Amino acid sequence: MSSFRYMAAIAPAPARTGLRSDSADRHVPSLRRGRSPKEGEACGPDRKSGRTAHRPEAQNRRTVRSGGQRGGRSRMPGRFGAFAAALFAAGIASGQEQPSVRARIEPDSIMIGDRFEYVIEVDKDQVQVVEFPEFHPDGSGIELVRSLPVDTLARDGRAQKLRKRYVLAAFDEGNYALGKAGVLYAGKNIVDTLYSDDSLYLHVATFQIDSTSHSIYDLKAQKTLPFRFGEVSGYVKWGLLALLALLAALYAAQKLLARHGRSVGSLFRSAPPQPPHVVAIQALEALHHQKLWQNNRYKLYYSGLTDILRTYIAARYGIGAMEMTSDEIIEAMRRIDDMPQKSAMDLTAILRDADLVKFAKATPDAEQNEADYLKAYYFVEETKLVEEEPAGDNEPSAPES
C-alpha cells in the first residue's frame, strides 16, 4: 500500500503512515490533528479502532496515526544542529497562532488509471516552520506520478499561504478513505502534527463489461466489392489530359526541328565521331599552346607529340601503333602503298628525335622543336582521308605558329 512520510531535510525523522485495505473501502495515508503528549502520557484512543498508543519516557518519539490504521513512528535523529536552528526560529513565533491546514482532492471521482491532485494548503507566519509529507507507494492501488514543489500563493506582511501538490494515479477501483491531511509543525517547546478539518475521499470507477449479453466473434473475412468506374474516373481524366499535353508538345517540337532540317529522333542520337585527322589536329594545337619545350620540358613535349601521331595512325590505317616501337611503326608505314615518301621521311625524323630526347636525354634547340611540330602537322594533313570536295580546296592550310 502507499504511505506519506515527512521529508528528512526539515523534520527530525521520517514518520510513516501505513495503509490498510478491506472489502468495503481502501484506506490511504492521512495525518490526524493532535498535540504532542507529555512524557509518559498516553496519546489517546484512535477514533475508529479504539487502540491507544503509549509513548515511552526514555525516548523522544511520537506517533502519527491515520484513521483506524496502525501508525508509523518518527524517531529524533542524532543530529540536532540543523533542527535546533528551526526550533529557535519557531520559538520566536510561539506566541502566535498555530498554522491552519486545508486539503482537497481534484477531482474526487475518477476512472481507473486516471490522475488526480492531492493538494495541501497551509496559512502560517513567516518564521513558523512546517513540513509537508512525502508520498511513498508500497503496493496500494494509488501511485505517485509527480511531487510538485511548494508554491507561495500569497504573502501579506509576515503571513504566508503555502501550497503543496501531489499528482497521483489510481489503478484499482473502489472507494478510498484518504483521511485528514497533516503537516509537521515545529514550535518552541513542541513538535506537533497539524491536520486538516475534513477527511478526504476518492472514488475510482471502472469500465463495466457485460460478457453475458455480448458474444465475442471472430474477425470478418475480407469482402470483395464490385469494380466501379467512379473510383478511378478522376485518375483517367487527368491521365488523358497529361497525354494530350505531351502529344501537343511533341508535335510542336517536330515542327520546330523540321524548319532546321532535323527530326525529334536526332535529339536522342549521339553525335558521330570526328574523323581521325580532326582529332589529331586539335590535339596538336592544344600541345603547341602548352609551351612545354619553352619551359625545358622536352621529354613531356616529345612524348605528347608521338602519342598524338600513334593515335592518328591507329585510327587512320588500323595499325596497332600504340603498342609498337618506333622501328616497327616505320616498317609498317613503308608497306602502305599510298603513303607519300615525304610524309614517311617526316614521320621517321620525328620518331628518331623523340627517342633521343626520351631515352638519351638529348636537348634539341628551339628550331628543331618547332620543325618537328610542323612535320607532325603536315603529316596528318597529307595523309588524312580525303573526301569529295570542290577543286582548289585540297590545299592543306598552314598551322598556327
Sequential pLDDT tens for the chain (401 residues): 455 554 433 333 333 333 333 333 444 444 333 343 343 343 333 433 333 333 333 333 333 333 333 333 334 344 445 555 555 554 544 456 888 999 999 998 999 989 999 999 999 888 888 899 887 766 677 888 999 999 999 988 889 999 999 999 988 888 988 888 889 988 777 888 889 988 999 999 988 777 677 777 888 888 888 888 888 999 999 999 999 999 999 889 888 888 887 777 776 777 778 889 999 999 999 999 999 999 999 999 999 999 999 999 999 888 888 899 999 999 998 888 888 889 889 999 999 999 999 999 999 999 999 999 999 999 999 988 876 554 444 555 556 55
In a domain, 333, yes or no: yes
What pLDDT was estimated at residue 236?
93
- Residue 25 makes CB contacts below 8 A (sequence gap 6+) with 174, 175, 176, 177
Indicate the residue type of 335.
R
- CA separation for the pair 249, 149 (Å, rounded): 72
Helices and strands (H and E) in the chain: how many:
7, 18
- 3-class secondary structure, 252: helix
**Residues 80 and 162 grouped into a single domain:** yes
Contact yes or no for 185/128 (Cβ under 8 A): yes
Residue with grid cell 586539335, as numbered in its chain: 282
Q: CB-side exposure of 363: number of CA atoms within 13 Å?
A: 4
**Residues 46 and 135 grouped into a single domain:** yes
- 3-class secondary structure, 395: coil
Using alpha carbons, select from 133, 128, 138, 131 the residue that is nearest to residue 118.
Answer: 133
Cis peptide bond upstream of 107, omega within 30: yes
Q: In what helix (H) or strand (E) does residue 35 lie, and over which residues does it extend?
A: none
CA 319 to chain centroid: 63
- Residue 281 makes CB contacts below 8 A (sequence gap 6+) with 377, 380, 381
In a domain, 287, yes or no: yes
Helix segments in 208-297, DSSP class H: 233-258, 276-290
In a domain, 67, yes or no: yes
Q: By CB neighbour count within 10 A (0-12 exposed, 13-18 middle, 19+ buried), where does 335 fall?
A: exposed
Q: Choose the final residue of a domain: 205, 220, 248.
A: 205
Q: Choose the final residue of a domain: 160, 186, 205.
A: 205
CA 363 to chain centroid: 66
What pLDDT was estimated at residue 355?
92
The x, y and z cell numbers of residue 147, run together, are 511531487
Cβ of 149: how many Cβ atoms within 10 Å? 7
- The total number of structural domains in the chain stands at 2
The x, y and z cell numbers of residue 209, run together, are 463489461
In a domain, 251, yes or no: no
**Residues 292 and 194 grouped into a single domain:** no
**Residues 184 and 329 grouped into a single domain:** no
**Residues 11 and 103 grouped into a single domain:** yes
In a domain, 15, yes or no: yes
**Residues 196 and 333 grouped into a single domain:** no
**Residues 82 and 165 grouped into a single domain:** yes
What pLDDT was estimated at residue 84?
53
Cβ of 93: how many Cβ atoms within 10 Å? 19
In a domain, 96, yes or no: yes
Cβ of 55: how many Cβ atoms within 10 Å? 18
Contact yes or no for 1/65 (Cβ under 8 A): no
Q: Choose the final residue of a domain: 205, 233, 250.
A: 205
What pLDDT was estimated at residue 12?
33
Strands 159-170 and 151-156: antiparallel
**Residues 48 and 186 grouped into a single domain:** yes
Longest dimension (CA), the chain: 141
- 3-class secondary structure, 44: strand
What pLDDT was estimated at residue 40?
38
**Residues 309 and 186 grouped into a single domain:** no
**Residues 196 and 283 grouped into a single domain:** no
Domain boundaries, position 35: 3-205
